[in-house]
Amino acid sequence: MSTRLEQKSKYVKAKYKVRQTPGDIVFHIFNAILMMFLVVVMLYPMLNTLAISFNEPLDSVRGGIYLWPRIFSLAAYEAVFENELLLIAFRNSVARTIISTVGGLFVCSVAAYVLSRREFLLRKFVTIYFVVTMYVAAGLIPTFFLFQDLGILNTFHVYWLPGLFGAFNVIVIRSYMQGLPDSLVEAARIDGAGEFRIFLQVILPICKPVLATVGLWIAVGNWNDWFTTEVFARQNHLATLQHELMKLVSSAMAETDTPTINPGEGSSGGHIMTPIAMRAAITMVATIPILCVYPFLQKYFVKGVHVGSVKG
């Protein structure tokens, strides 16, 4: 079957090569230009920020830095890593991301496993019960008072506890599990394994692709979240990286971008720190960790999304 398909695609390719009309060539050139434009638009802002973060802070204010720092300097990064609040923020961000990802994956996959078993008595009811939460949200203020009553307001728990369960994630994992052969579970049952053991030792290991996918979603969501800090955890020891960055961005935004030198920002190693350099450096610190995770998971990722979207 596969060889036939390969042959066919070879055949098709060969035909294309023969039938390259001038119109095709024009189209491909146009397409190539479009893709180049796309790559530039997607990559340039990141590279530009990277260049600014490595530039001499005071010099950055003059503008005109594109892809390469004009005067190379690590002052901005030094300032970031000397700032105690930012270190706390970094620690908090990492901690909450890890805890929520592990906990969230566990909770979601347990729910997904139960819902994927066709013999489960309340399957339909529980599915509806979960799906409803995707559409009905109480809103900001009731949530705020709920957190207050539960006593998780202004504690670290507010970062991981409310987000453990995600109905959409459960549905995605469930679809993947439903695609697995039933005989796996039955065989394990005959061998005398309990349900929880079947889940942990039989089902979970073969769900790696979808777990990687959903795990990445949860991790990205948690790492990028600043709003929880803004509303539910307004204390210095609970700072997160994105929230610190947000404060810098919105303060700069309020000035409606007049490039001002702010000597009050503090100096580092003889350099005067400027908001623009500081922001670029924090942006990099807040972005690079999550971008580092992505390539490792990408091979699972496409597979997981694909299956999820087909079955979902």
Partner 1 sequence: MSSGVIINKPLYGDTSRILFYRYPRKFWVSLGGASIILFITLLNWFSTIDTYFSNETFQMTTTETSFGIFTAFFKSTGVYDLLYSRQASSGAYDPTLMLNIFRYGFPLLFLIAFAFLALAVIRYKSNSFIKFSNIGFAITAALPIVFYALIMYINAQHNAFLIEDFGAKNFFLMLINSQDTGTALAEGRARAYLADHVSIYNGLTAIPWPLIASFISILALILLRKDDKKLTIVWHQKAFFLMIIPIMIYVFIFSFLPLVGWQMSFQFFQPGEEVQPWVGFQHFDNFFTRGDFQRVMTNTLAMSMINLVLGFTTSIFLALMINEIRLKKTKRIIQTISYLPHFLSWVVAASIIEQFLMGDGILNDLMLSLGIWDERRLILAEPNSFWGMLGLSNVWKSVGWNTIIYLAAMTAIDPELYESAEIDGAGRFGKMFNITLPGIKSTILVLLIMSIGFALNAGFEAPLLLQNVMTRPTAENIDLNVFFQGIQQQNHSLATAVGMFRTLVAILLITAANQASKRFAKESLV
Residues 231-290, interacting with partner 1 (CB under 8 A): 231, 242-243, 245-246, 248-250, 252-254, 256-259, 276, 279-280, 283, 286-287, 290
Q: Which is nearer to partner 1, 269 or 299 (CB)?
A: 299
> Measured from the CB atom, is 170 or 270 closer to partner 1?
170
- Is residue 136 part of the contact set for partner 1 (CB under 8 A)? yes
Q: What's the CA angle centered on 135, arms 132 and 141, to 5 degrees? A: 110
Piece of 58-66, 84-92, 97-105, 264-272 that binds partner 1 (CB under 8 A):
58-66
Q: Is 14 in the site for partner 1 (CB under 8 A)?
A: no
User: Binding string to partner 1 for residues 67 to 106, with x set by CB under 8 A, is what?
Assistant: ----------------------------------------
Q: Report in angstroms how near the CB of residue 269 gets to partner 1 at its nearest.
A: 24
Kindly indicate which of the ranges 35-43, 82-90, 207-215, 264-272 contains the residues binding partner 1, using the contact rule CB under 8 A.
Answer: 35-43
The distance of closest approach from Cβ of residue 211 to partner 1 in the complex, given in angstroms and rounded to an integer, is 17
Applying CB under 8 A, among 66, 68, 72, 296 the residue interacting with partner 1 is: 66
- The correct pick among 1, 22, 139, 236 for binding partner 1 (CB under 8 A) is 139
Interface characters, 169-198, with partner 1 (x: CB under 8 A)? -----------------x--x----xxx--
Residue of 111, 233, 238, 273 interacting with partner 1 (CB under 8 A): 111
| CA dist., res. 65 & res. 148, Å (int) | 47
Task: Tell me the CA distances in angstroms from 312 to 51, 112, 177, 304, 307, one per residue in order.
Answer: 42, 13, 11, 11, 8
Residue with tokens 């997981």: 304
